[in-house]
Each structure stands twice: as C-alpha cells, then as structure tokens.
Amino acid sequence: MLNRRHFLSTTLLAGLTTLFTNTKAAADQSKKIFSSNSPPKPVIVSNGRKLPWEIVNGAKQFHLIAEECEQEFAPGMKVKCWGYNGSTPGPIIEATEGDRVRILLTNNLKEHTTVHWHGIFLPNGMDGVGGLTQPSIKPGETYAYEFTLRQHGTFMYHPHADEMVQMAVGMMGMFIIHPKEQVTNVDRDFAIMLHEWAIHPGTYRPDPAVMLDFNIFTMNGKVFPAIEPMVVKTGERVRLRLGNLSMDQHPMHLHGFAFKVTATDGGQIPAAGQWPQTTVPVPVGSTRDVEFIADEPGDWVFHCHKSHHTMNAMGHDIPNTLGVDQSEVSQRIQSLLPGYMAMGEDGMAEHAMHGKHMTGPENTLPMMMGDGPFGPIEMGGMFTVIKVRDQLSNYDDPGWYEHPKGTLPKKW
Amino acid sequence: MSKIHSVLLLATSVSFITGCAQIQPKAGFEQVEQMISNRLNQQIRWVQNSEEDLAVQEQIKQLLSKDLSADSAVQIALLNNKNLQARYESLGIAQTEVVRAGLLKNPIFSFSAKFPNEPPSSASLEFDLIGDFLNLLMLPARKKFAAQQFEQVQLELADQVLRFATKVKKHYFRLQFSQQSVAVLHEIVSVYEVSFDLAKEFYTAGNIDELQLLREQALYETTRLQLAQNTLTVSAEKETLAQLLGLNNTQLWSIPSSLKAVPSVQPDLNNLAQLAIEQRLDLAAAGKQVETFASKLGTTRNWRLLADAEFGITGERERDGAGSIGPALSLAIPIFDQGQTEIAEANAYLRKSEHTLSALVLEVQSEIRLAQQKMLASQMMAQRYQSTIIPLQEKIVRLSLQQYNYMLLGAFDLLTSRQNEMRVYQDYIHAVRDYWIARADLEQAVGGNLRFEGTGMPQKLPEKISNDQPMQQHGGH
C-alpha cells in the first residue's frame, strides 16, 4: 500500500510539474529523475527466446534462420508455422542504441524471403524490401544486413517478400533496442508479440487466404492458458512492449491499473502526451510500450478486449442456439444421432465444460479453456494474467492469489 | 377265304405297329422335371387333380410359413403358378401329336353294286379297300419327326420354366430392395422431420427467419412424398411377386427385410460359354429343330416320287357268281410335279432353323458377357460402398459431431451429414440389389446354376446403417 501511495504521489508530482513547465523541460527533468548509470535491464520474453549474438569484426552478429517449424499453441494443438530459428514469433533481437549490428539471414524456406526491420532507422539498402531495395533471398542463401542502431525502442522484423503469406503463417519477431542510458527505471520489462491466425478446426496449417475470419489469437505464439503469467513484485515498475503484425487492431486491456503509453515504434512519447489509460489499441503494424507501477497485489488480467479474440476456434456461421428450447427434439435427434447433445440454449458457458468431456476435432482447442481457483475461466486466445505479489523469492509462477479476508464478493 | 384271312392279318399287323402310341397323362414331364432339377435344384409339379396335389399344397404351406428366401419363392412359384401349369398342358397337346403321328390314315373302303336291268337278275358287286401307300411307308419316319418335335417341345417348356424362375428371382430382389430402401427412407424422413421441428424451435426463439424455416419444411415435405411414392412401389412389387407365386394375398407371407450382402465367394466365371452350350435348353431346342428339319429334308427327297401313291385290295363278284380279289395300286406319274417344291420347302425350313440357331449362339454369348459385366460391376460397387464409402460417411458424421461439440458446426449441418450417410446406404443396397439381379441374369444366360469353387453363405445386410457412435459423457450441467 505504501508503494502505491508513493507511486500516486510521484505521479501527482510529475503531473503538476508537467502543468507548470514546458514539455522539453519536463522531459529533461524526467531524464534527470530516472537516469542512472545502471545498464538497461534485459527484456523478459514470456514463452519466448532471445537470439544470441557474438562480436564479429566489430559488430554484434546475429543469425536468423527462416524456416518451417512446428509450434504448440497449447497442449492439444500443434501448428505447422513458418518462423525463425524454430519458433514463431522468432527469437527477440535485443541490442543497445549505438550498436553496430550484423544480422545474417539464412533462408531455409522453399520460397524466397527477405527481412525488413520494422521502424528502425537505417540506410535504405538495408530496409529488406524484396525487389525494391534488394533481390529476394533465395532458398539456401544467406544475406548479411549490417547497420548501426541510431534509436531505442520496441521494433519488429518480418519478411517483405510474399509478405502476406509469410506473415500469415508466422514469420515475425521483435527487435528491442535499449537506450544507451536507462531512461526510466523499469523493473520488469515484458515483450509480447500479438498475432492472429486462421487455422481451420482439424487442420494444422494456418490459412493465409483468410482476410477477416481469424479463429486463433496468440501472445508470443501461445493461447491462454498456455501463456505464461507475468510475475511481478508489488510496487515494481512494469513495462509491456506490445507488437502487432496481424490483420486486426488489438485493444489490449489491463485490469487493476492505469498505464501510460510511453512509446510507439516511432519513438518515445513526450510525457505530456502520455495520458492514463486502461486499454491500449495496438494498431496493425506498430508497437506500443506501456508502463505502470504494479502497486496492488492480485491476479490481474491482461487481454485483448475484442471478446472474440479471447476465444479459441468457434463457428462463426452456425445457427444461433441462444434461447432455443430443444428439450423436445433433442431426444429424437439423439435416437437418430447417438452422441448428440442440445447446447447453447442458455448461453455458451457450458462449452468450458464441453472442452473437457466431449470429443472435438483433431488438433483443435475448445473455444474456452482454463481453470481458476473458483472455476472455469472460460477464456482462450489473447488472455493472460499478471500476478502481483507482495512476497516473491523468485519470478516463477506463484500460483493463485490468496485474497485477504473481506476482499471477495459475498453471496447476498 | 385265305386271301381274306391275309388281309385281316395285314390290317392287324398295321394296327399293331401303330397301336404302341397311347396317350399318357404326364407323358414326357419327367424329363422336364429332370432338366429343371439338374439346373435349379428345384422341383416342378404338374398338378392334375391327383393325390400328389395335396402333397404339393402342403409343401407350399410349409414354405410360406417362414420368411421366403429367393429359392423358396422360386420353388413356390414353380409349384403354384397357374400360367406355368397352363404351359405344362402344352406338353399334353404335343403328346397327342406324337400319338397322331403313329396312327395310319384309315383305309378307304368303297363298294359298288351293279344290278342288271334284265335277268339273270343277280347283281355284280365291286369293292376296294384303298390305303395311302406313302402314309404307311413313312410311318417310322413320321414317328421319328414327331418324337423329335416332342423333344423340342419339352426343351422349350423347360427353358420357359427356367426363364420364369429367373423372373421370379429378379422380382424377389426388387421387392426386397424396395422394402429395405423404404425402411431407410423412413429414417431419412425422421431426420428431416426432426430438423424441421428444430427449425421451428429456432424460429419461435427468434433466431432464424421464416425463409429458413420454410426451406426446412420444404425438404421435409418433399421427402415425405418420396416415402409415400416408394411405399406404393413396395405394394406394387409385392403384388407382382404374389402373382408370380400364384398367391391371392400379400399379407400371409413375407420376405426378409434386408438383402443378403454380396458373398465373398464368387462363382467360377471361366468357360461360361461352354457351360451355356451344355446347359441352355433353348440352344438344345433350336438344335433339335435343325435335326428335325434335316431328317425331314432327307425323307422328302427319298419319297418325293411316291406322293399320291395308293395301294389296296380290290375285289369283284361277277353276276355269274365268279369272284375275284387282288391288290390295287395307283401311282401319280411325275411328269409335272416331281416334288421340287417340297424339297425346296424342306430346304428352306432347314436353313431357317440353322440361321436361327447361329443367331441364338451369338445372343447367348452376348448375354453372358453383359450379365457378367453387370454382376462384376455391381459386385465391385457394393464392395466399394462397404469397404470405403459407408465407413467414409460414418466418419464424416463422427467428425461432424466432433465439430458440433465444439460449436464449429450447427445442428442442421450435423443432421444433413446423417441424411447423406443414409442416402449413401440406400445407394449401397441398390448396388447389392443390382448384383443379385445381374447374377440371376447370368444364371439364366448360362442356362442354370453357376458353378462355385467353394461355398460361402452370404451375410445378411444390416437393416439400417449402424449408428453406434459412442455416447459422450457429459457432466457439469
């Protein structure tokens, strides 16, 4: 509680300061307040990996391998994706402003590709647009991209050759550039790549032809409840770096806190432009950094607020069963079609149970999943939990929150 | 007097030669029975108001007490069909021809008395006893032709019995298919009905529009009419079979509700043409006709100059009382007619019969090929349905149900997959029916039973498509 109050007063102070000074001055001041000599804390990638590097000829040399890979979105669903170095999204490239980076791209796909450094300032020739700034990289070829990082922030990489197909099947990753000096003192810095997929029930491969009717929504290539929770100690400053290369905007909503959008892939947002929000729309082809102080312990949900995006595969063209009385016909249908069960008359919550007891199509997740301490959570897709705890010995999943007495709703 | 004596002797001996031919009530039917039992393993009976008839009626009663198999239906038809009995009478008619052939033309006795118009007043008497010479000479040949013709009639009759048996069998399979198909259609109608009732609930809840509701209703109503139509077909086919079985009701007998599956052991299809030559009775009948016309031609050629020859006895008693008796002979002098027309006619008949036989041989071979192709094709189709298409549809229903369970598919689409499964089952039994019909045709084409390398009782088809989907366990609500 103390921490929360402290944060509020700090914010209040900052707000007042902003009111009475000009923007530039405020930015300078915040720099002064938060700047330190400590090196930037490495980014945390739930369910993900980072791309290792080594210094070769004076540059941080990374090696991306474009290839097909099988990825488990959640137990019971494996998807034949294209990605980098065996996963989608590919491993995060993490570097620091001022670094000279050399990124090798080996194409192990059966069609050509390129890699475009989304949002990064670089010489035009390194921009990775097949046909425009370079020849596409043929299967088996390796190309080296080399440039100096002139900015910091959250960026992305993705192909710019047969882009529609290659991104639909998973080719993308995040590119984090830390500032030379820490701008804000962030304790927990999470990077989450959002994506959406059309994987028809019973199939294994995303369908790139689908433009609107997506049915699987992932954070770092996983769906709830396979998405690792973000574990935070009470009072810690948290940054969520969100990237979106899907076909839809995702309004990402946080329970329990207000956050500020501190940066986009276009750069830092001046403090004056950082208004408090609980939902940040992450537009198609952009990144958002949001920051907040996790000063209230609990299991706080972070999810896309398009409610269909927190569901797994479901029929979008089926007759609406809501309010349909099947008590008379269902027995007759059962005699003609053993195994038939009337459903959906009173709502779809029962599907959280169906997933456990009824057989669905091969390689298909039930539309709602996840069990909490009080019952089925009835979610899927872009849904995860930020677990804020007063006491933590490490950042492993601490289990469900134990609510202090008197802080739970009562049956009236 | 001794002369008169010898005349009597001659007459007696002539009547002895011809007297062998007597009318027998079932003459020649045994051979027909034999031919049928060799080819069908079935009995035929010529009902002639004897004690045997009671046994036949008892046998029919026995057969009718159980569900009729194709074979028992054929057996009943063979024993009980009155048209068949009518045909057996043609054997009786043919037999009278044989007897008639063995009879000589009756000799013609002519007598004249001449009375003088002046005394002495005793009359002079003349008599002739004239017989057709050729008629007598040709008696053995005539009997031979008649016997040949009778054989031909027997063969043709037996052939008709076989064709009749095939007809019964085919109608049996048609009826069995229609019955089974209607049973499946009943199920299909139930699916449409429940689909429509479900649509009503959706409509009442305000979840589908009237258009969609009416579409469901239209499907249901159409299928219901289809069921009525097919039910009528069953009645019509049952009537047809009842006629063939010689029964005047359709209630007191029944046939199993489902067709037998295509057996795994198939007939030996080698040398079917040879088998047909050995077995087919119409071929034998046509061959017999050629034989008859060939011998007729020979006889005509040998005896052509003796046409119109007559012989006999002529006697006279003069007025003076002196009598005389002696043989008489009259011959046509072959100046104008030397029997050319008869020979030409006999030749033409022979050639006609030969051509008919050749044509028949070709037809038989073609019939065999066609029936064999049909049988093999329907066998292949039935097996494909059984091994692939039905399991495919069952799996489609199962997977549809899985999609339904996860709300990926609506109940109407799920029910449609069940309808499709049932429709495919109807197509399957149609193929099975075609197999049995083609097999009956092939049996007819080879003139009897097909040879089997082994024995294998065909399995009974399931009456309706299996729907043993595992019941889903469901707890929680």
DSSP calls for B49-68: SSHHHHHHHHHHHHHHTSPP
State the pLDDT at residue A34. 42
Compute the distance between CA of residue B429 and CA of residue B439 in angstroms, rounded to an integer.
15
Q: Give the one of A315, A326, A357 whose C-beta lies nearest to B198's C-beta.
A: A326
Mean pLDDT for A105-121 is 98
- Of A157, A152, A175, the residue nearest A40 (C-alpha): A152
Distance from CA of A294 to the nearest CA of B (A): 37
Q: In this complex, which of A319, A338, A367 lies closest to B469 when CB atoms are compared?
A: A338
Exposed / middle / buried, residue A205 (Cβ in 10 Å: 0-12, 13-18, 19+):
middle
Confidence band of B468 (pLDDT split at 50, 70, 90): very low
CA distance B418 to B424: 10
Question: What is the reported pLDDT for B142?
Answer: 82
The predicted pLDDT at position B462 comes to 54
- Which residues of A are less than 8 Å from B470 in CB distance? 338-339
Domain extents for chain A?
A: 53-180
Ramachandran quadrant class, A140 (left: phi over 0; alpha: psi -120 to 50; beta: rest): left
Specify the higher pLDDT residue, A21 or A205. A205
Of the ranges A30-34, B50-54, B197-201, B472-476, the best mean pLDDT one: B197-201
User: What average pLDDT score do residues B167-193 get?
Assistant: 96
The arithmetic mean of pLDDT across residues B131-155, rounded, is 83
Q: Which of A187-196, A251-260, A323-332, B165-174 has the lowest mean pLDDT?
A: A323-332
More confident residue, B60 or B306: B60
Q: Kindly tell me if the per-residue pLDDT of B67 is higher than 60.
A: yes
pLDDT value, residue A12: 43
B475 to A348: CB separation less than 8 angstroms, yes or no: no
Task: Summarize the confidence of residues A292-311 as an average pLDDT.
Answer: 97
The residues near A82 (Cβ < 8 Å, ≥ 6 apart) are: A66, A67, A68, A69, A88, A109, A166, A169, A170, A171
Question: A210-219 pLDDT, tens per residue?
Answer: 999 999 999 9
Q: Give percent above pLDDT 90 in chain A.
A: 79
Q: Which has more pLDDT, B283 or B20?
A: B283
Cβ-defined contact of A361 to B406 (cutoff 8 Å): yes
Query: 10 Å Cβ neighbour count for B193?
Result: 18
- Chain B partners within 8 Å of A336 (Cβ): 187, 190-191, 194, 415, 418, 467
Cβ of A355 within 8 Å of Cβ of B412? The answer is no
Taking CB atoms and an 8 Å cutoff, what residues of chain B touch A338?
A: 467-471
CA distance B149 to B153: 6
Q: Which value does ipTM take for this structure? A: 0.79
pLDDT surpassing 90 at residue B313: no
A203 contacts in chain B (CB < 8 Å): none
**Does residue A13 surpass a pLDDT of 50?**
no
Q: Percentage of chain B surpassing pLDDT 70?
A: 88
Answer whether B208 sits within 8 Å of A319, measured CB to CB: yes
Provide mean pLDDT across the span B418-446. 95
Q: What is the mean pLDDT of residues A268-277?
A: 94
Residue contact B469–A361, C-beta within 8 A: no
Q: Which of A201, A322, A338 sits opposite B467 (nearest CB)?
A: A338
In terms of C-beta density within 10 A (0-12 exposed, 13-18 middle, 19 or more buried), how is residue B273 classed?
A: middle
Decide if B202 touches A, using CB distance below 8 A. yes
Mean pLDDT to the nearest integer, B245-259: 90
B468 and A338 in contact by Cβ < 8 A? yes
Task: Taking the CA atoms of B276, B282, B288 and B294 in sequence, report the sign of the dihedral they define.
Answer: negative
Q: What is the pLDDT at residue B5?
A: 58
Q: Measuring CA to CA, how many Å separate B115 from each of B129, B188, B319, B407? A: 21, 103, 9, 126
pLDDT on residue B385: 95
Domain boundaries, chain B: 2-445
From A382's Cα to the closest Cα of chain B, the distance in A is 19
Highest mean pLDDT: which of B80-94, B321-335, B350-364?
B350-364
Report pLDDT for B4: 52
| Residue A14, pLDDT score | 43
Fold designation for B2-445:
Outer membrane efflux proteins (OEP) (1.20.1600)
CA closest to B189 among chain A residues: A336
Q: List the single range of A60-74, A175-189, B168-182, B429-443 with lowest mean pLDDT.
A: A175-189
Q: What is the mean pLDDT of residues A200-215?
A: 94
Q: Compute the nearest-CA separation of B387 from chain A (Å).
A: 22
Average pLDDT over residues B242-261: 91
Q: What does the pLDDT look like over A305-346, one tens digit per residue?
A: 999 999 998 888 899 999 999 989 999 999 999 889 888 888
Determine, for residues A329 and B401 on separate chains, whether the beta-carbon distance falls below 8 Å: no
Checking if the pLDDT of B458 tops 80, the result is no
* Residue B475 touches partner A, C-beta closer than 8 Å: yes
What is the per-residue pLDDT for A17? 40
The CATH class that applies to domain A53-180 reads mainly beta
Contact A354 B406 (CB under 8 A): yes
The mean pLDDT value of chain B amounts to: 85
Q: B194, A333: Cβ pair inside 8 Å? A: yes
Give residue B8's pLDDT.
52
Tell me, yes or no, if B302 comes closer than 8 A to chain A by beta carbon. no
Confidence grade of residue A65 (pLDDT, cut at 50, 70, 90) = very high
Statement: the pTM of the whole predicted model exceeds 0.95: no
Interatomic CA distance for residues B393 and B419, integer angstroms: 10
